[in-house]
Chain A
Amino acid sequence: MNPERLQQVQDLFVAASELPVADRSRFLDEQCGSDHELRRDVEGLLESLDETGRFDRLALQVPKLAEEQAVAPLPPGTRIGAYRLVDEIGHGGMGSVYLAERADGQFEQRAALKLLRRDLDTEDARRRFLAERQILARVSHPNIARLLDGGVTPDARPYFVMEHVEGVAIDVYCDEHLLAISERLRLFRTVCSAVHYAHRHLIVHRDLKPSNVLVTADGTVKLVDFGIAKLLDAESLDSSVPQTQTGLRMMTPEYASPEQVRGDPVTTASDVYQLGVLLFELLTGHRPYRLRRRSLLEMERVITETDPERPSTAIDRADADESIDAPLRVTPELVSRARGTTIEKLRRRLSGDLDNIVLMAMRREPERRYESAQQLAEDVRRHQEAVPVIARPDTVGYLASRFIRRHKLGVATTAAGVLTAIGFAVVMGVQAERTARERDRAEQVTAFLVDLFESADPGNTLGDTLTVREVVDRGAERVRLELGDQPGLQATMMSVLGGVYRGLGLASRAETLKVAALDIRERTLGPSHPEVALSLTDLALLRTDRTEFEGIETDLRRAIGILRKAGREYRNELGRSLYALGYLLQATGKHDSAVVALAEALEIYRREPGAAHSYMATVLMNLGWIQENQGDLDSAETYFREALAIRREHLAPEHPWIAGSLTSLATVMRRKGEVAEAEALVREAVTLQQRLFPTGHRDLAGSILTLANITADQGRHRESDSLFQAALLSYADLYGDDAPDLARVRNDLAGRLSDRGEFARAEPLLRKALPVYRTVLGDEHPFTAMVTGNLARALYGLSQEEEAERLWREAIRVLRGANIDQMMAVPYMEDLGSLLMDRAHYEEAEHLLRDALDILRPGLPDTRWRTIELQRTLGVCLTKQRRFEESETLLLEGYTALRSEWGIEHEWTQATLQRLIDLYEDWGRVDEVAQYRSLIRDRPSPE
């Protein structure tokens, strides 16, 4: 065929194809005349226009073409089953949707008829399809569009008839009506209950997304296409294909759950995931993952291997719609305006509960999501009613690690210290390099990192500045892909980047890399190589951070064994492994063994001039924390001072770790009663941190809290109240309203309020704090016990004695059983003692108070006044039991000491005096009563 001839055929074809079918024949008669060959060619083309040919079948495998190539719409009036088509109202890769009505005119009801492209070409497929349809037809719920009918056309194409819903997609509805977050949540809960209803009937939607969740003009939610996805899934209907790969191919990737992507069985948990995605989108205006411009493989990886961003930070995105034709940008301003609020308010609204709820629904492991759509809805309701929600940030371990680190352990992980972390990680990574060949590797590592950061230069990227995290993500990917043939370098790089992730607080990614590095080293170097020991140690540190303690001690002891044999050149690494062991033992409450390991690490570092100062200082800090916890404040002070000196000498003058040492030392000095020095130290830390972290930081918030407590100690209530407030706000800004740190601030503040008798203000703070402690640290943790005890105190103040008693007993039981400074239990024992006395349980009270006195007996300087106070209470208890002489001894001892120390006018002296008078009155010693009464200050006259 020559070009002219082809042109002729094509022109005629185009012209004819635009004519109604009935007119084509006459048109071709006119145009072709006697040229039968021409006519046959054109007719051949016209025929293939209306059917699915072999080329079409190929083209359908290119998703983009499949979408475009919807079947030509059937003309109005076509009958399908009991329905007559009215009009095509939509089409997609899977088929077309028609508006239809009953052909027999029995009902006026209009319906949506979905005619699918795919053929049900086997009897088995047809049978399954019809069976499934029967199940769906049983669903009857006001928020689910009903399936009215369904069948297979004579040419083997399946169709469904559904209740026709005139509505718009839920996201569009919310934005058009500028619905506030609370209204969006209300709609979302309706969606959840509809989904839950279907789940109870064993029907999974499998394709929940805004376009399947419609809202009608009167605001009614209607879910459409329930269960249809399963019918569309070739493999679920075709028994000859093993049910493996549903994959991204069939779905909207942005809404696919990890198990759907992997081709694992799809359950109700997948719907819960998709509800999470839907909620994410309703709240933020963005989809959780940015999948555009990614290959299928990348999409699969992103969905199955990464965690979505938190909604509260996702709102900062300014996503360009990447279809070039519509460069609409979803900006933070647009998003917040559509929710009737400002960006700042929106962020605060989302952070905390809502972040946690969305992320819990979207967890990668189905079994770790909400158990049901209903549970999800209930958590949303709890959030709306300001009751604590079930959802927690991903791992409790992660949170617990934040807690533990704050309270006693310390490897600084500061975002601002990222570069330090990177530098440090490089040092640690390459310190192990011994031979000349391995020194080259150190250079390669550096070169790789430099390259990585150059690629992060805004000039080199797709526009926006990459975040550190993106840079590191990219680096990790390159290491994985490009260094496969250099296992040594690959393992080192993985280890280095793992360290960076740890510095960024991305523990799970850090762990993945460190595990991979360990794997490579074990494989290529054998199980007893020192580098394997380094990897084991890395991993142990990480897992300890995450409070995943199982098996770590064995790993570390193995690492230590390897390094002990490895000789002098691995001394520093041995120190580090010992440190890691100490850190682990400390975290698991084995303080004595921890001290042994840390002390050995310290010895090693002391003997190695020019040793890793960072680790030496960290070891000292940890030793200090242990001593502080055990009540040996002098030793703690010594360790902290040495650590501070090392850090001042070797680090930049404005380093976050210096501030960390300052705060820890301040805490000890405060406990030693050196309040003035404590205040000076913590003020230095605050100044330093304010310079380091102008936009706020956890460590800064922590220092402010310490300062708040110190000023409160000195009775500067107004100043301390505003500092507590500042600490609350700083933490809330950083982590949202439910941050565990906030629980601590609330606890401390409540303690102060109780001291001042403001129990009604203290109680709600403690009620908010306690569940957080219980969840994060567990019921048996001493800190949880202390908060419990504080709540009991507030309740006692509010005369809710029964609950107070129960809580105090719990607190004391835990504290007495814990391997901590038993001083911590004394105030609660004294309090419970008073309560028991109120209830006339004198014997038990006496027992408790004497136990408390035994704890105090060692006679540490800061316990003297405590002792006297306790003796006074015990004295009262004895008076009540009419054991007057014993009581007199105790009370007189206290009175004398107080009088000589503070003078007769002091309130403590006066309080003791009053108890003494009470005693003599009960005893009937009239003379003493008169004598002591004359000493009471401002006592109203008896008349």
Chain B
Amino acid sequence: MSPRHDVTEKLVALAGGRAEAWDELMPVVYDELKQLAHRHMARERPGHTLGTTALVHEAYLKLVDGARVEWRDRAHFFALASRAMRHILIDYARTRNREKRGGGLAAVPLDDASSIAVDDIEDLIALDDALRKLEAVNERQCRVVEYRFFGAMSVKETAEALGISEASVKRDWSITRAWLNQELGGSALDTGMPS
């Protein structure tokens, strides 16, 4: 059975209420995304985007038979992929960060093989830390950020995946945005340490 077929089936099952399908799907989606990300990063010059949108959509086209899934399944897939993407990006950022520490700051130039600028690495790690905090107090808001930021999901898709209203998503997003800006250390121009 082809992975595409398999993923599509499981996605339909997930939408049908079989929650364990989520855990079965996660490794497949994760692996696929990781492969794609690897390829992407190897080919991209340092760019203006984290490239997450492209990767998640590419994974979707590759893994899911769009003709056979509902709009809702699609949102579920993106939700899964967003979370997988978070792990991949953060793993990557932490690895790079360790390299950077090991090699000394000056020795690490912008890496041609990376789609993430050096500046972003610290921010990404800070974001991950902040999200862990957030998850402990309000899991839903954490998901909203994951889906919107790592998966580039629209308000509507996020609402669909979480089973809440679009207004709630907007509200959560506006709150967490302000909160995360504060957590990550204020103005982008400000080079001070995170508080």
Contacts and interface: CB of A to CB of B under 8 A. Distances in A.
Q: Do A and B bind each other?
A: yes
Contacts of A44: 182
A293 interface: yes
Contacts of A61: 48-50, 120
A298 interface: yes
A923 to B, nearest CB: 92
Contacts of B66: 462
Contacts of B52: 62
A59 B150 CA distance: 9
Contacts of B49: 61-63, 249, 296
A294 B71 CA distance: 17
A48 interface: yes
Interface in B144-195: 148-149, 152, 154, 156, 171, 174-175, 177-189
Given A13-B178, A45-B175, A244 B137 contact: no
Interface string A1-27: 111001100100110010000000000
Contacts of B154: 64
A714 interface: no
Interface in B26-60: 40, 43, 45, 47-55, 57-58
Most chain A CB atoms below 10 A, which of B48, B71, B183: B48
Contact of A463 (B58, B67, B179): B67
Interface stretch (B10-18, B95-103, B122-130): B122-130
Interface string A251-292: 000000000000000000000000000000000000000000
A3 B138 contact: yes
Q: Is the interface of A mostly helix, strand, loop or mixed?
A: helix
Given A62-B49, A249-B48, A48 B182 contact: yes
B186 A48 contact: yes
Contacts of B51: 296
Contacts of B178: 13, 17, 45-46, 48-49
A322 to B, nearest CB: 11
A58 interface: yes
A324 B160 CA distance: 13
A11 to B, nearest CB: 9
Contacts of B123: 54-55, 57-58
A59 B53 CA distance: 12
Contacts of B185: 53-54
Contact of A460 (B67, B127, B177): B67
B188 A297 contact: no
B156 A55 contact: no
A69 B126 CA distance: 21
A54 B40 contact: no
Given A6-B138, A54-B184, A293-B61, A59 B54 contact: no
B47 A64 contact: no
Nearest to B186: A53
A57 B190 CA distance: 12
A61 B188 CA distance: 13
Interface string A64-99: 110001000000000000000000000000000000
Given A56-B177, A58-B149, A61-B48, A296 B54 contact: yes
Contacts of B184: 53-55, 58
Interface residues of B, number: 47
B111 interface: no
A247 interface: yes
A249 B182 contact: no
Given A52-B187, A65-B152, A298-B58, A245 B45 contact: yes
B65 interface: yes
Contact of B127 (A58, A245, A294): A58
Contacts of A295: 54-55, 57-58, 61
Contacts of A63: 49, 53, 152
Contact of A249 (B47, B124, B156): B47
Interface string A26-54: 00000000000000000011111101111
A65 B145 CA distance: 11
Range class of the A interface residue count: 35 or more
Chain A CB within 10 A, most for which of B52, B156, B184: B184
A819 B50 CA distance: 64
Contacts of B171: 14
A461 B67 contact: yes
Interface in B66-95: 66-67, 71
A302 B163 CA distance: 36
Contacts of B50: 58, 61-62
A444 B182 CA distance: 58
A591 to B, nearest CB: 50
Contacts of B55: 295
A55 B177 contact: yes
Contacts of B181: 48, 51, 53-56
Interface in A229-247: 234, 244-245, 247
Contacts of B53: 62-64, 296
A119 B57 CA distance: 31
Contacts of B54: 295-297
Contacts of A47: 182
Nearest to B74: A324
Contacts of A56: 177, 181, 188
A494 to B, nearest CB: 21
Interface in A578-592: none
A134 to B, nearest CB: 28
Interface of A: 1-3, 6-7, 10, 13-14, 17, 44-49, 51-59, 61-65, 69, 119, 234, 244-245, 247, 249-250, 293-298, 324-325, 459-463
18 contacts: A3-B138, A14-B175, A17-B174, A46-B178, A52-B188, A54-B185, A55-B177, A55-B181, A56-B188, A58-B50, A61-B50, A62-B49, A62-B50, A62-B148, A69-B177, A249-B47, A295-B55, A297-B43
Interface of B: 40, 43, 45, 47-55, 57-58, 61, 65-67, 71, 120, 123-124, 126-127, 137-138, 148-149, 152, 154, 156, 171, 174-175, 177-189
